[in-house]
Amino acid sequence: MSSSSSSQQRLNQLTSHLTTMEGSSASIFQQVPKAAPDAIFHLTAQYKADTDPKKINVGVGAYRTDELKPYVLPVVKKADAILFNNKDLDHEYQPIAGTPSFTNAAVKLILGEDSVAIREHRAVGVQTISGTGANHTGAVFLSQYYKKSNHCYISNPTWANHRNIFSMAGFQVNTYPYWNDKTRGLDFEGMLQCMRDAPDGSVYILHACAHNPTGVDPTMEQWREIADVMQSKGHFPFFDCAYQGFASGDLDRDAAAVRYFVERGFELFVAQSFAKNFGLYGERTGNLTIVGKSPQVAQHILSQIEIAQRAEISNPPAYGARIVDIVLNDAALYAEWKENLKYMSNRIKEMRHALRSRLEELQTPGQWNHTTDQIGMFSFTGLKAPQVKVLKEKYHIYMTDNGRVSMAGLSTTNVDYFARAVDDVVRNVSV
């Protein structure tokens, strides 16, 4: 062999070796793009990493005391003690759909004791991984068994997770107008017109109370008109109820829209979260309430959801559901829970008034009545992304880019600073 042909051979071997190396070192997931971090939870991480003592987190919707500490509801502490002292307690699996004493109590809570759907045995519940899981479980069921339309409508703006949940379940996700930036209130006509124009039988995601992110709810009169249009178009109402009792301090008032739709004869789903109203954020405690036309329909839906639940989580987690179960099924604890709810919602209302009065004293350009007109955890301020950016960079105030403020992040000690910062960006940051 000549020296040139042997060096050619060695080169070929090396090339082939390198190709093999490359082949084995290249990931089969090479094409996976990096996703953007979650808008809400990334803010919390940024806030935690910020060392400025003046920092404020009005990003995530999680209740804080006036000392800006997480709040364990006193009634939850009592239920916790009952659990702790229960010598018979074990850690066996829960039923696939959750423990009936929990799901029945959750259904009763949202529909009301005297609900016609409960009397007629056509309302059932399934325990879910908080409100997100309830949305997901309902969406997955609908994507398989709801044949009228593949279109679903979420509000604009909305809680960002709605889009992901329903599109991942296979829905074509559209938006309906909700916020009127000029009036800083509900775009009621836009919402109704969209409902009229939507394909018949579309699935509509409606916020039962304390709309996230705007804090703007339809009046009862407006809910009646919404129900009229939805009925005439055969749309399916899917309520998301994350704030029952937390929004107004009144459990019945916050459930009024759902109950009205049930009275009108709709079949519907309600996603319930016990994160905010029980402070059980990390325990992921929720329920999907299903109202069907007949007991048989409701039971059949439940049976199919049990199959899906078994495949996804097998059995729901026990701890949070046990707490809620204890409280909802004990008259004295239930009464105490209502007081805890009033305490939390009152602090939020006080912060709304404090912020509005500070902004009015500063004569911050614009109208600020929406701050107190809105309800629940969030205020949609009308601040725009460039202003939000300056609030973060200059003032260490963390809120979502759409100008949503979690009122629970404000306190008697930081509301002045917050108002002055808002005043500065409203005056000086062009949008």
Pairing of strands 203-207, 151-156: parallel
Residue 132 or 309: the one with the smaller Cβ distance to ligand LMR is 132
Exposure of 93 in the CB half-sphere (CA atoms within 13 A): 7
Beta bridge partners of 314: none
DSSP 65-105: -TTS-B---HHHHHHHHHHHH-TT---PPPPTT--HHHHHH
The question of whether 48 is a catalytic residue gets the answer: no
In this chain, which of 159, 238, 266, 398 binds ligand LMR, going by CB under 6 A?
159
Q: Round to whole Å and give the CA distance between 251 and 271.
A: 15
Q: Which of 163, 169, 168, 160 is nearest to 141 (CA)?
A: 169
Residue type, 356: R
The answer to whether 408 contacts ligand LMR (rule: CB under 6 A) is: no
Q: Least distance (Å) from ligand LMR to the CB of residue 161? A: 6
The question of whether 276 is a catalytic residue gets the answer: yes
Near ligand LMR in 298-317, by CB under 6 A? none
Q: Round to whole Å and give the CA distance between 82 and 90.
A: 14
Q: Least distance (Å) from ligand LMR to the CB of residue 61? A: 3
Q: Are 378 and 214 in contact (CB under 8 A)?
A: yes
Q: What are phi and psi of 151, to 5 degrees?
A: -95, 135
Position with the least CB separation from ligand LMR: 61
Residue 40 or 354: the one with the smaller Cβ distance to ligand LMR is 40
In this chain, which of 43, 56, 61, 241 binds ligand LMR, going by CB under 6 A?
61
The answer to whether 375 contacts ligand LMR (rule: CB under 6 A) is: no
> Which one from 108, 276, 325, 337 is the annotated catalytic residue?
276
Q: Least distance (Å) from ligand LMR to the CB of residue 386? A: 22
The answer to whether 60 contacts ligand LMR (rule: CB under 6 A) is: yes
Size of the site for ligand LMR (CB under 6 A): 6
Region label for 301, one of left (φ > 0), alpha (ψ between -120 and 50) or beta (otherwise): alpha
The question of whether 114 is a catalytic residue gets the answer: no
> Which one from 78, 108, 159, 254 is the annotated catalytic residue?
159
> Which one from 78, 187, 223, 240 is the annotated catalytic residue?
240
Show the site string, 193-232: x = touches ligand LMR by CB under 6 A, - = not. Answer: -------------------x--------------------
The answer to whether 58 contacts ligand LMR (rule: CB under 6 A) is: no
The answer to whether 40 contacts ligand LMR (rule: CB under 6 A) is: yes
Residues 6+ away with beta carbon under 8 Å from 281: 62, 275
Residues of this chain that interact with ligand LMR (CB under 6 A) are 40, 60-61, 159, 161, 212
Query: Which of the residues are catalytic?
Result: 159, 240, 276
